């Protein structure tokens, strides 16, 4: 018997049934995947937003209020920490770091993990307060690096100060004791006047800012204030060439030693002298030498040689070269 073809309506229903089975199977498959993804700890890669990378170095700098800020931490050798500050006005500031050997660099911008080169300021800490200078308003990044071997603890702070412009040279006529930034306005004595040129020749400023004859330098006399010239008003002006700036009278005076040997003390000018010379009945006003240096105890600090100096010198009057006169004499 020949097979009969299915009725068109039955064929349509069979096709519809098969399609429904496939649809249900597809829903079941996606449902199982959904359950698995919810229960799984695995991270699905792609198809979402990747997390932001962790910031390090300069870009991770925390910012602080520097007006009342103190920072304490420890750093291993060769490691760094970053600190940020935002200045609202131009100011003069100093960094206080109580350990030596930390390299400090201040940057205006970040370049990835690093500060944008070159740094605006860079210096090595010395264990004390250190003036950085004038910084204008803006945002800054400070990198502190331990350059010493081993881990070190340190304390750090910043001191802010108002800027006071003025002459900071205490030898100048217009010295401003309140100034903390020199503005190149210092005014000095005009030493090369007709009076000085006629009587003493070319002049320079001595260690105390007084006019001094240039011919007195390296003339065989230690000009440490024991010798004087007359100014235009007839007053005696002691000449002091005894300082490092003038190479201690270009060798006429012995360089000052920082430490004195046992039994010696520093005299009025910082020269090592025998302590037993104090109050020994002789006025040590530069007339007597020790190790080639004239010794001065004739000052308030030593009670004028413990009373030995009463204005009565014990030197024999003599004529000195280049217009020198004994300071206090005639």
Which among 158, 129, 144 is positioned nearest to 64, based on CA atoms? 158
From 137, 161, 185, give the residue that closes a domain. 161
Count of helices and strands (H, E) across the chain = 4, 22
Pairing state between β 181-182 and 165-166:
parallel
The sign of the torsion formed by the CA atoms of 256, 257, 259, 263 equals: negative
- For residues 143 and 214, membership in a common domain is answered with no
Q: Is 131 within the bounds of a domain?
A: yes
Q: 145 and 83 in one domain?
A: yes
Q: Classify the phi-psi angles of 22: left when phi > 0, otherwise alpha if psi is within -120 to 50, otherwise beta.
A: alpha
Any idea what the Cα angle at residue 83 is, between residues 80 and 84, rounded to 5°? Answer: 145
Instruction: Find, among 251, 327, 322, the residue nearest to 296 by Cα.
Output: 327
Same domain as 66, residue 119: yes
| Same domain, yes or no: 198 and 318 | yes
Does 198 share its domain with 322? yes
> Do 154 and 268 reside in the same domain of the chain?
no
Residues 147 and 205 in one domain: no
**Is residue 205 domain-shared with residue 150, that is, in the same domain?**
no
Does 141 lie in the same domain as 209?
Answer: no
CATH code, 120:
2.60.120.380
Cα separation, 141 vs 55, whole angstroms: 15
Do 219 and 142 sit in the same domain of this protein?
no
Q: CA-to-CA distance for 205 and 215, rounded, in angstroms? A: 12
In a domain, 184, yes or no: no
Of 140, 161, 182, the residue at which a domain comes to its end is 161
Strand bridging mode 138-146 / 100-107: antiparallel
213 three-class SS: strand
27 occurs within a structural domain:
no
Structural domain includes residue 4:
no
Residues 148 and 211 in one domain: no
> How many domains is the chain built from?
2
**Is residue 237 situated within a structural domain?**
yes
Using a 10 angstrom Cβ sphere, with 0-12 exposed, 13-18 middle and 19 or more buried, the burial of residue 85 is buried
For the record, the structure tokens of 169 come out as 């040279």
pLDDT tens series, the chain, 330 aa: 444 555 544 444 554 556 566 555 555 554 554 444 444 444 444 445 555 667 778 888 888 776 666 788 899 989 999 988 888 888 887 888 888 788 889 898 888 788 787 888 888 887 777 777 888 888 889 899 988 878 888 888 887 788 899 999 887 889 899 988 888 999 888 888 899 999 999 999 998 889 999 999 999 899 998 889 999 899 999 999 988 889 889 988 877 655 777 778 888 888 888 888 888 877 888 877 777 678 889 888 898 888 888 644 333 344 555 555 666 665
Neighbouring C-alpha atoms within 13 Å toward the C-beta of 9: 0
| CA atoms of 78 and 145, how far apart (whole Å) | 6
Domain that holds residue 198: 194-326
> Is pTM beyond 0.75 here?
no
């Amino acid at each position: 018997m020949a097979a009969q073809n299915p009725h068109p309506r039955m064929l349509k229903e069979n096709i519809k049934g098969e399609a429904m089975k496939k649809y249900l199977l597809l829903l079941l498959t996606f449902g199982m995947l959904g359950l698995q993804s919810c229960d799984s700890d695995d991270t699905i890669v792609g198809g979402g937003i990747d997390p932001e990378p962790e910031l390090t170095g300069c870009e991770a700098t925390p910012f602080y209020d520097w007006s009342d800020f103190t920072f304490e931490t420890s750093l291993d050798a060769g490691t760094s920490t970053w600190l940020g500050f935002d200045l609202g006005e131009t100011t003069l500031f100093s960094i206080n770091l109580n350990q030596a050997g930390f390299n400090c660099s201040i940057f205006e911008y970040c370049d990835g993990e690093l500060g944008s080169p070159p740094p605006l300021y860079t210096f090595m800490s010395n264990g004390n307060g250190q003036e950085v200078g004038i910084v204008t308003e803006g945002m800054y990044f400070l990198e502190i690096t331990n350059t010493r071997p081993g881990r070190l603890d340190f304390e750090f702070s910043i001191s802010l100060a108002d800027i006071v412009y003025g002459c900071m040279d205490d030898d100048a006529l217009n010295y401003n004791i309140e100034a903390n930034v020199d503005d190149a306005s210092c005014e000095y004595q005009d030493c090369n006047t007709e009076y000085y040129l006629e009587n003493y020749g070319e002049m320079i400023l001595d260690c105390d800012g007084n006019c001094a004859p240039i011919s007195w330098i390296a003339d065989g006399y230690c000009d440490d204030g024991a010798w004087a010239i007359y100014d235009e008003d007839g007053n005696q002006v002691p000449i002091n060439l005894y300082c490092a700036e003038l190479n201690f009278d270009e060798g006429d005076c012995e360089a000052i030693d920082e430490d004195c040997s046992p039994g010696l003390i520093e005299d009025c000018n910082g020269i090592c002298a025998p302590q037993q010379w104090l109050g020994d009945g002789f006025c040590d006003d530069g007339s007597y030498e020790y190790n080639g240096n004239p010794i001065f105890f004739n000052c308030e600090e030593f009670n004028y040689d413990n009373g030995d100096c009463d204005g009565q010198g014990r030197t024999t009057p003599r004529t000195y070269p280049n217009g020198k006169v004994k300071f206090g004499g005639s």
